[in-house]
Amino acid sequence: MMKPLENKFKHRDLNWLSFNKRVLQEAEDKRNPVYERLKFLAIFSSNLDEYYRVRVSQLRQIKKIKKSLRKKLALKPSKKVKEIIAEVKKHQHKFGEIFHEQIVPELKQNSIYLIEEEDFTTSQKEEAKNYFNAEVVQNLKPQVIDFENGKKAFLKNNTIYLFVSFKNTELAGLVNIPVKQNGRFVTYKTQGEKHFISFLDDVIRTQIHQIFPNKEIEGVYEVKMSRDAELYIDDQFEGVLAEKIYESLQQRTDGQPTRLLYDSEMPKPLQKKLRKHLGLGKIDMMPGGKYHNFSDFFSFPDPTKNADLFYEKLPPLSHSGLEKSTNYFETIKEKDQLVHYPYMSFSYVEKFVEQAATDEKVTDIKISLYRVADESKLTSSILKALKNNKNVTVFVEAKARFDEENNIHWGKKFEEKGAKVIYSYPKIKVHSKILLITRQENEESVHYAYIGTGNFNSETSKIYCDHALFTAHKKLTKELNRVFKVLQGDLIIPRTKNLLVSPFNTRQAFTNMILREIDHAEAGKEAKITAKMNSLEDKEIIDLLYRASSCGVQIRLIVRGFTCLIPGVEGLSENIYMTSIIDRFLEHGRIYMFHNDGDEELFFGSADWMNRNLDRRIEVLAPVYDPEIAQEFKDILNIQLKDNMKARIQDEEESNNYIQPKKGEDKIRSQYEIYNYLKTKNEL
């Protein structure tokens, strides 16, 4: 019997905060070098900004639904937003402690001084003034606000401002901090071995009287607005969806406010005035520290060039099958090839497309692009293929959040050069990471495929842990060709017996495999499910996992991000054990393994166990047929399952406790162990 719970599903948005807390833990973890800890603070800040722009924004949109319908659907957006704010305040407090009490002192120990306005020496004040007049002042757009009669000020999304109060007046000042033009940090002359850095904010603070002359300044406080990031586009715009998205991108800066972050030192009467002037509710106000936008710490200067302040370098490993290959088609035809990023270089897929672009026998190249990099070898090779009169079909996802503009830009560029470019469909995203190359060999069309878990993006491949398969397996390539025909509009449903393709057969296939494990367990056989993914949200799948657990199926999960499943609850999920790994690279791969009474089945691909990935996106997951490659996947998965340094236990209480090595047990930091495993395996 399942244990009766008030709610057997965690709220996804609240549990997402638990994930971001794990990011914050890495900023606190002194095993990480100080500059890497700064980056985790930047990641935490960037994550939270996006969370407010997307998830909190969506909760606010729910509030617009009629109360009677919200009640019927058990939707309580205001309650959830209040819970979110309470939790975020705890995280912000912890963030401040880590930064001020740990990071700043450790920087000082390494002769790096992050100084504030009040710390400036006479010479530094002069440097700041000179820099301000020479480089900054022309990028400022100061405004004077009239609280009683004036027009409302508009704060751009994620732009930081200094809000300036004047004495004895209903006027106030507002001035932008021009980070895009000037950068966030200013470096001062070195004194001996000491290096001094300040926020650009403090340079502007020193000159605030120059910006607002003839005003008696009372206080200066930093503020930042987060705005709704969703693009609400009607589904009727099927034929011109990309253009509609392109035109609607302005909403990203003009969208509904979701949070005003302000300096908690701002007096309450002034907070109230500003809130009313901007038309915000109390729930929109979030107190913070003196400085905002810590995502800018991705570019924090490194004046010492001290390698000890960063992670040790892990040079990309050579792939034993592809490194010396001069003809990828022959190599892949002979045997499937598996690559792993960032342990290996993205150059292998770039070389694959480059060879296809110049190979006389290649007739067609088809690729789905979810997040297109800026100018890259991949995009250059696609353009070269067009120049060489190859038939190129590019599916561009126009709704990839925050990458729409760049994706559409490249779509137009490919189209201009002769590619067949297909943009998104209403109500569905194409999230699959697939490439198909057709080659004429002995009067026969032969397909070569690439199926991955990560985007075709050379930059993200350096920090995202992903897997990709190069294959000429006829069953897989034949079915992948059908998937592209669906994208082209030539087929409605791709008939697939091997590939799992959402939204067509993925849900049913996973359902059947879980039910099969339940049957084995009930028959007294060994029954196991091992799965790794980014997020776990689909309630139908979770219910099946609960049922499997209650029948004795042993379930081991690795979920990096949020989860709606509650593991380890007696009578509900006592046979489900879940961990999450956060480390120097972003775990992004999806691997699913079913014991199947000893005849294991293993799949990998682009889909998480989320409703959107199963029902509302084009996703592709591939079975692994090559025994050697299947073993490689299992070895990597087993290393991650044994991580006792960067893995956290996921439990009912969301404690996020690190797994500790047992007495006499080796320390296993999975990302480093995987690097060493692949290094040994691929020694040339």
Residue 209 annotated in ligand binding = no
Q: Is the dihedral of CA 532, 538, 542, 544 positive or negative?
A: negative
Task: Count Cβ atoms below 10 Å from residue 104 Cβ, excluding itself.
Answer: 14
Using an 8 Å Cβ cutoff, are 534 and 588 in contact? yes
Residue 47 annotated in ligand binding = yes
Q: Is the dihedral of CA 457, 463, 466, 467 positive or negative?
A: positive
CA–CA distance, 225 with 275 (Å, rounded to integer): 11
The residues with which 587 forms a beta bridge, in sequence order, are 465
Residue 130's Cβ-count burial label (10 Å; 0-12, 13-18, 19+) is: exposed
Question: For residue 197, what is the enclosing H or E element?
Answer: strand 195-199
Question: For residue 590, what is the enclosing H or E element?
Answer: strand 590-594
CA–CA distance, 585 with 341 (Å, rounded to integer): 10
Q: What are phi and psi of 573, to 5 degrees?
A: -145, 35
Q: What residue type is 529 in one-letter code?
A: I
The tokens describing 179, both together, are 């980070």
Report which DSSP code applies to 492: S
Please list the helix, strand and coil fractions of the chain in percent, rounded to the nearest 5, in that order.
40, 25, 35
Question: For residue 449, what is the enclosing H or E element?
Answer: strand 444-452
CB-based contacts of 188, cutoff 8 Å, min separation 6: 115, 124, 127, 196, 197, 198
Question: For residue 507, what is the enclosing H or E element?
Answer: helix 506-522
Residue 37 annotated in ligand binding = no
CB-based contacts of 134, cutoff 8 Å, min separation 6: none
- Name the active-site residue from 319, 431, 473, 520: 431
**Chain position carrying tokens 């400036």:** 120
Using an 8 Å Cβ cutoff, are 240 and 182 in contact? no
Q: What are phi and psi of 149, to 5 degrees?
A: -125, -10
CA–CA distance, 478 with 447 (Å, rounded to integer): 7
Using an 8 Å Cβ cutoff, are 509 and 500 in contact? yes
Torsion of CA 205, 208, 211, 215, to 10 degrees: 160
- In angstroms, the Cα distances linking 162 to 120, 183, 201, 261 are 19, 16, 8, 12
Q: Which of 108, 55, 110 is nearest to 83 (CA)?
A: 55
**For this structure, is 431 an active site residue?**
yes
The helix/strand/coil state of 397 is: coil
- In angstroms, the Cα distances linking 644 to 648, 662, 663 are 8, 9, 12
CA–CA distance, 36 with 307 (Å, rounded to integer): 11
Rounded to a whole number of angstroms, the CA Rg of the chain reads 27
CA–CA distance, 248 with 405 (Å, rounded to integer): 10
Residue 91 annotated in ligand binding = no
CB-based contacts of 290, cutoff 8 Å, min separation 6: 116, 222, 263, 265
Q: What are phi and psi of 64, to 5 degrees?
A: -75, -15
Report which DSSP code applies to 598: G
Task: State the greatest distance between any 2 C-alpha atoms of the chain, in Å, as a whole number.
Answer: 88
Residue 464 annotated in ligand binding = yes
Q: Beta strand pairing status for 285-288 and 257-263? A: parallel
Residue 252 annotated in ligand binding = no
By annotation, the residues acting in catalysis are 431
Query: Residues marked as binding for ATP?
Result: 47, 464, 560, 588
Query: Residues marked as binding for Mg(2+)?
Result: 371, 401
Query: Residues marked as binding?
Result: 47, 371, 401, 464, 560, 588
